[in-house]
């Protein structure tokens, strides 16, 4: 059995996510941001993984702890918004500012107090429980990280993280980046590859934490930027989906999506590699 990946794209994010979940089935998974970065770090630059943008199965939630502290909880592998139905509930909610559901003014997804409290404890709406690591512990390294887990980062630390296009060396020690990449080593491996692609000096890293109200519990999914050829990766070329702004964490939760889903495939039962003519 080999693990094989497929791209699932749709102009409607919940549609793309549902396709990805259906494709993944019970034995596969929808790639999180650390998994996308790992795949890039181990792929040639000609591969599509480097040449377009992806939506990740990773989310960052701003929540308040029982002690009244604000934190960012990153969940890789599917968290509060792990199901397309949760997105649709948000889309169809009353968008009045006072409503506890729906979008924030900057198009994050509002989450309930229960969802916020549960995710801090690693309890997800689907009933799954995941390990949740404090950032300091996570930075030191976790042996045998599971596919699905959370990391808690102090909000002030997240807010003060550099924003925009930064040198690769600076990014290697950036808390948000370490969490997003799945650890210090994984981040370094990815950054080295990204830097070597065109011998660039800086890369984009964006987050919303310096201009939102942390009292409003909210969640965003993370996007991994990319365009054909990796042009303009130093912030000087292209707009919108064609831009190469590194890793984006302030995109709205409303647009199109491109997921990568990975499933075990038995090549011996597939038509994929069969010879269809004597000359094949």
Partner 1 sequence: MALEYTGDDGFVASMPQLLHVRANSSYDNIIWSTWFTQNSEESVVSTPGDNSAVVAVNGGGIFGIPERFGTLFHADVNRFCEIGFTGLFAGKVTEREVHDVLKGELHDGTEIPVYRFVEFKRGVGKLPRRYAVILDFETARDACNGYQPFEELKNHPMMIIRAGGVEEEAKHSDCARNRHQTSVMGTLHPFNAIGPEQTQTRVPVLAENDGYVDSEEEDGHLFGYDSEYGMGGDSSIHDTSMINVARYVDVALRDASTSLQNLPF
Q: How far apart are CA 29 and CA 145, in angstroms?
A: 15
What token pair was written down for 251? 């995109």
**Least spacing, CB of residue 41 vs partner 1, in Å:** 9
Say whether residue 228 binds partner 1 (CB under 8 A).
no
- x-or-dash string of contact with partner 1, 239-268, rule CB under 8 A: ---------------------x-x-----x
Q: How far apart are CA 129 and CA 24, in angstroms?
A: 20
**How many other CB atoms are found less than 10 A from the CB of residue 39?**
18
Say whether residue 269 binds partner 1 (CB under 8 A).
yes
**Least spacing, CB of residue 26 vs partner 1, in Å:** 17
Out of 1, 47, 137, 192, the only residue in the binding site for partner 1 (CB under 8 A) is 47
**Least spacing, CB of residue 278 vs partner 1, in Å:** 7
Out of 35, 55, 195, 245, the only residue in the binding site for partner 1 (CB under 8 A) is 35
What token pair was written down for 17? 């996510």
Stretch that binds partner 1, among 10-18, 30-38, 192-200, 249-257 (CB under 8 A): 30-38
What single-letter DSSP state applies at residue 103? B
Say whether residue 3 binds partner 1 (CB under 8 A).
yes
Q: Residue 203: beta bridge partners?
A: 166
Q: How far apart are CA 168 and CA 76, in angstroms?
A: 23
Nearest-CA neighbor of 181 among 30, 29, 48, 36?
36
Out of 36, 119, 120, 221, the only residue in the binding site for partner 1 (CB under 8 A) is 36
Q: Which CB sits closer to partner 1, 153 or 262? A: 262
Nearest-CA neighbor of 192 among 55, 58, 76, 40?
40
Contact assessment for residue 218 and residue 109, using Cβ atoms and an 8 Å cutoff: yes
Q: How far apart are CA 212 and CA 220, in angstroms?
A: 12
Q: Which CB sits closer to partner 1, 97 or 272? A: 272
Out of 17, 24, 33, 39, the only residue in the binding site for partner 1 (CB under 8 A) is 39
Contact assessment for residue 178 and residue 142, using Cβ atoms and an 8 Å cutoff: no
Q: Which residue's structure tokens are 């038995």?
A: 266
Say whether residue 276 binds partner 1 (CB under 8 A).
yes
Out of 96, 199, 215, 271, the only residue in the binding site for partner 1 (CB under 8 A) is 271
Cβ density class 96-129: b for 16+ within 10 Å, e for less: eeeeeebbbeebbbbbeeebbebbbebbbbeeee
Q: Which CB sits closer to partner 1, 51 or 213? A: 51
Tell me the pairing of strands 149-154 and 164-167. Answer: unpaired
Out of 6, 156, 234, 242, the only residue in the binding site for partner 1 (CB under 8 A) is 6
**Least spacing, CB of residue 188 vs partner 1, in Å:** 17
Stretch that binds partner 1, among 2-10, 19-27, 152-160, 221-229 (CB under 8 A): 2-10
What token pair was written down for 121? 């404890």
Say whether residue 270 binds partner 1 (CB under 8 A).
yes
**Least spacing, CB of residue 220 vs partner 1, in Å:** 22
Binding site for partner 1 (CB under 8 A): 2-7, 29, 31, 35-36, 38-39, 42-44, 46-49, 260, 262, 268-271, 274-278
């Amino acid at each position: 059995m080999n693990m094989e990946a497929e791209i699932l794209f749709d102009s409607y994010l919940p549609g793309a996510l549902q396709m990805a979940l259906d494709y993944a089935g019970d034995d596969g998974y929808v790639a999180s941001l650390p998994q996308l970065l790992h795949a890039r770090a181990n792929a040639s630059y000609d591969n599509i993984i480097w040449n377009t943008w992806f939506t990740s199965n990773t989310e960052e939630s701003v929540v308040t702890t029982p002690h009244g502290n604000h934190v960012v909880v990153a969940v890789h592998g599917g968290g509060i918004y792990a199901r397309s139905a949760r997105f649709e509930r948000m889309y169809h909610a009353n968008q009045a500012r006072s409503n506890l559901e729906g979008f924030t003014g900057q198009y994050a997804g509002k989450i309930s107090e229960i969802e916020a409290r549960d995710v801090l404890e690693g309890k997800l709406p689907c009933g799954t429980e995941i390990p949740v690591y404090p950032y300091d512990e996570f930075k030191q390294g976790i042996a045998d990280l599971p596919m699905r887990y959370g990391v808690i980062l102090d909000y002030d630390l997240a807010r003060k993280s550099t924003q925009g296009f930064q040198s690769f060396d600076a990014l290697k020690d950036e808390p948000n980046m370490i969490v997003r990449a799945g650890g210090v080593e994984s981040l370094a491996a990815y950054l080295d590859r990204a830097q070597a692609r065109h011998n660039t000096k800086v890369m984009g890293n964006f987050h919303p934490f310096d201009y939102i109200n942390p009292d409003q519990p909210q969640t965003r999914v993370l996007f991994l930027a990319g365009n054909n050829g990796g042009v303009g990766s130093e912030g000087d070329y292209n707009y919108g989906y064609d831009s190469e702004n590194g890793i984006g964490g302030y995109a709205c939760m409303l647009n199109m999506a491109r997921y990568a889903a990975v499933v075990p495939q038995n090549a011996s039962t597939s038509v994929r590699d069969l010879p269809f003519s004597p000359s094949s």
